[in-house]
Amino acid sequence: MIWQRDTMCRDAIQPQPPPTASVEVRSAFKRYNASAIVLRGVSLTVRRNTIYGLLGPSGCGKTTLLNCIVGRTKLDNGVINLESNVIDDIGYMPQDLCLDPLLSVEEIFFYFGTIFGHSRNEIIARYKYFNALFDLPKRKMLINNLSGGQQRRVSLAVALLHNPTLLILDEPTVGLDPILSEKIWLHLSDLSSEGKTIIITTHYIEEARRAHTVGMMRSGLILSEDAPENLMKYYGCSSLEDVFLKLCIIDTSKVIQKSSLPIDGDVQKKLLPLDNNRKFETRRFRAQMLKNRFLLWRNKQMTYLMLGLPIIITLFFNMAIGRDPKNIRIGIINEEIDLRDCANFTYKHNNNCFLNEKIYGSCQLIYELHKRTYKIRDYYNIEDAKKSIKKNEIWALLRFNWNYTESLKDRINSGENSKDDVVDQSFLEFWVDDSDRYMSILIERDVTLSLADAFKNLVGSCKDSLDKVFSYPIKIHDALYGSNAGSFAHFVAPGTVCICMFFLPLIFTTFVMLDEQNDGILDRVLTSGMTYLEIALAHSIIQITYICIQAVEILIIMYVFYDNPYIGSITIGFSLLIVIGITGMIYGFVLALSNDSHFAAGFAGVGTNFLLMCACGFIWPTQGARYFVKYTNKFVPITLAIEALRGITMRGWSIDHTAVYMGFVSMLIWALIFYAISYVLYKSKKGTWKKV
């Protein structure tokens, strides 16, 4: 029966009883935004055991309609009734390839065959059958290395692999030679005679004459649908192409409102097949694990990167961080003796008292600075030296007065009766470049310690009588935790470990899941019945294996090879790193679901990492942050975890210590938060990863 929007033609044809329908679409509306209304009230009927050819130009809504039928996209309004909504009864070939390019032809067959519960022997038998029918490429060839025509043949064979009762094929013959296209149409005819129902879209209008029913679509509407012979006879045309042209002319001449969706509270919204497929099934999970194994074996570069990055990061950290800078350049203005003559007056560890000797204290201090690898540059006036500091030629400047050592002696001998000018002349003057705070603190420390050592050497046999003058009024005992000679690296090491364990799983998960989403790969496997839970769980098992290996690598290099302080329980520390890694992995799911490209997700991941480094106490103690940050950074992921690992490694705290178990608790809470966010994102984004 011919059906079209033309009212006169519709009135002239007597209504017939509705045929037995395998697929029925009524008043289907779909839009992606206010200006992109793709389906404008589509209605069509696909009879059981027939081939339905859907014709129309690119952009008319054919692919969107098929996506709605198979559940990739939901209608905004309308009804789609399927004779069977069991996903195993549907075979879907999308317009795009939607197959993982790193898998081989054989691996693709095993992956989809396992999804549908076929045994290995059944899959091999089906491959041989389709190989003879469609002349498939060699089974060991990668999808990425196939021509476009070869890829479409594999895609079609995968859609037919599980022998579905309803076949939905989007442009299956594009790019194929006429002989192979003929074989495909003959096979589809045989399938329909065997009880299969087939919906096929095609750009080749005349090849659609093989279909039992043809629906002609334009601008989101079905212009007409009936058997090809009936259409040509009714419109007095010799070809379907002429029929379509005439229908387009009729459609263009009409003034029809196409800008908005209907307002109808009675319009039914029907759940699609995938919405009824929420149960976890072992066969699909096993298929995803099989695919992950194939990809790990194939993508060795990613495997090496994931296992090698922790080693590279920790090695470079220990080689670059924590060691005191060497060969720092400082300037000296020595007015009491020429620097070249200082070597003759160095007063090293003897029993003489400098009060009775011709000794220069400036030379002794310069000697101590040389021992600390400082490079000395001689200057004769302050102005030139300050210019050198501004040019970054030197980091600091020391000035000794012309009677520096004699003033020290007079000050010691006179005590509290020392004259003011004597006191002034006994001071060492010091200027430093404070633009690099750590360098300035280091230089100030070394100058102070060098001066103390110089005085000890100058005192000699008069040491006992001068203890009250030269001794610091403080006794420094051994540190309770760590050592008195601890380095900055010891403080930063726990933060480095935690950042690494959080960031690496985050990036790997984000990029792997985006690979699944891109090019429709995720949509196709979801259409085949796979659930996102099964995909995520299979990935999690692989990722947790990586996390365990990475944690072992980091602990060995950081705390065994480089001997950073670790005095607590290895088991507790290792467990904390695993929890941090799992939390990072779950956050990776959030980034993958909230971004559509690797570029955007990469920016989000790097930005997150930078913010964490600034706020979590990795570089600087949290106690030194501004008031607001100081009391809020404990709610930042891994802040408490870093404190916990620092307590475990440097203080030997156990799980019963508040700081340690709060590190575990905070990471578990963040893992639950990230999981909740990813679940909401998945539900809101389901079926909309790829708009076509």
Q: What is the CATH number of the domain that holds 217?
A: 3.40.50.300
Average pLDDT, stretch 384-398?
A: 92
| Distance separating alpha carbons of residues 450 and 142, to the nearest angstrom | 68
Residue 267: C-alpha distances to residues 22, 256, 260, 276, 408 (Å): 21, 21, 15, 21, 99
Residues 6+ apart with CB under 8 A from 670: 583, 587, 637
| Distance separating alpha carbons of residues 331 and 395, to the nearest angstrom | 8
Element (H, E) at 329: strand 329-334
In a shared domain, residues 504 and 626: yes
Asked if residue 481 is part of any domain, the answer here is no
Asked if residue 1 is part of any domain, the answer here is no
pLDDT tens-digit map of 317-337 = 888 887 778 899 999 999 888
Tell me the two tokens of residue 434: 């404070």
Asked if 57 and 205 count as a contact pair (C-beta separation under 8 A), the reply is no
Range of the domain at 341: 329-470
Query: What's 149's DSSP letter?
Result: H
How much is the pLDDT for 196? 92
| CB-CB neighbours of 234 under 10 Å | 16
In a shared domain, residues 459 and 589: no
Of 202, 226, 252, the residue that ends a domain is: 252
SS3 at position 30: strand
Among candidates 521, 517, 525, which has minimal Cα distance to 112?
525
In a shared domain, residues 503 and 631: yes
How much is the pLDDT for 627? 73
Average pLDDT, stretch 132-154?
A: 90
Asked if residue 257 is part of any domain, the answer here is no
Among candidates 647, 637, 643, which has minimal Cα distance to 667?
637
Confidence band, pLDDT 50/70/90 cuts, at residue 5: very low
How much is the pLDDT for 616? 80
Q: Which residue has the higher pLDDT, 202 or 308?
A: 308
How much is the pLDDT for 560? 92
Residue 387: pLDDT over 80? yes
| Distance separating alpha carbons of residues 418 and 467, to the nearest angstrom | 18
In a shared domain, residues 500 and 396: no
Lowest-confidence pick of 108-122, 128-142, 339-353, 621-635: 339-353
How much is the pLDDT for 472? 61
Tell me the two tokens of residue 367: 């000697």
| Distance separating alpha carbons of residues 81 and 519, to the nearest angstrom | 28
| Distance separating alpha carbons of residues 339 and 598, to the nearest angstrom | 61
Cα distance from N-terminal residue to C-terminal residue, the chain: 30
pLDDT tens-digit map of 456-498 = 777 765 655 555 555 666 667 776 776 666 677 888 899 999 9
How much is the pLDDT for 689? 45
| Distance separating alpha carbons of residues 617 and 55, to the nearest angstrom | 62
| Distance separating alpha carbons of residues 144 and 103, to the nearest angstrom | 8
In a shared domain, residues 54 and 172: yes
Lowest-confidence pick of 306-310, 523-527, 558-562, 585-589: 523-527
Buried b (16+ CB within 10 A) or exposed e, 277-288: beeeeeebbebb
Residue 28: pLDDT over 70? yes
Residue 619: pLDDT over 70? yes
In a shared domain, residues 312 and 339: no
Average pLDDT, stretch 592-617?
A: 85
How much is the pLDDT for 672? 96
Asked if residue 93 is part of any domain, the answer here is yes
Average pLDDT, stretch 377-388?
A: 92
Residue 353: pLDDT over 90? no
Residue 269: C-alpha distances to residues 29, 33, 42, 264 (Å): 10, 19, 14, 11
For the chain, percent of residues with pLDDT exceeding 90: 35
The number of distinct structural domains making up the chain is: 3
| Distance separating alpha carbons of residues 134 and 150, to the nearest angstrom | 9
- Which strands form 375-378's sheet, in the order they lie side by side? 375-378, 329-334, 396-400, 429-432
Buried b (16+ CB within 10 A) or exposed e, 439-455: beebbeebbeebbebbb
Asked if residue 357 is part of any domain, the answer here is yes
In a shared domain, residues 367 and 422: yes
Asked if residue 265 is part of any domain, the answer here is no
Among candidates 60, 192, 224, 15, which has minimal Cα distance to 232?
224
How much is the pLDDT for 347? 52
Asked if 234 and 2 count as a contact pair (C-beta separation under 8 A), the reply is yes
Residue 116: pLDDT over 60? yes
Residues 6+ apart with CB under 8 A from 333: 379, 380, 381, 382, 385, 397, 398, 399, 400
Asked if residue 620 is part of any domain, the answer here is yes
| Distance separating alpha carbons of residues 496 and 642, to the nearest angstrom | 9
Tell me the two tokens of residue 211: 């279909």
In a shared domain, residues 229 and 311: no
Residue 150: pLDDT over 60? yes
| Distance separating alpha carbons of residues 192 and 211, to the nearest angstrom | 10
HSE at residue 75, side-chain half, CA atoms within 13 A, is 30
Of 194, 226, 252, the residue that ends a domain is: 252
pLDDT tens-digit map of 531-542 = 888 888 999 999
In a shared domain, residues 455 and 525: no
In a shared domain, residues 200 and 109: yes
pLDDT tens-digit map of 179-236 = 888 888 999 999 999 989 999 998 778 788 889 999 998 888 898 899 999 989 988 8
Element (H, E) at 201: strand 197-202
Residue 243: pLDDT over 80? yes
In a shared domain, residues 428 and 538: no
Asked if residue 179 is part of any domain, the answer here is yes
In a shared domain, residues 377 and 504: no
Q: Which residue has the higher pLDDT, 366 or 277?
A: 366
Confidence band, pLDDT 50/70/90 cuts, at residue 257: very low
Among candidates 73, 72, 42, which has minimal Cα distance to 262?
42
Of 235, 252, 269, the residue that ends a domain is: 252
Task: Quote the mean pLDDT of the chain.
Answer: 83
How much is the pLDDT for 485? 63
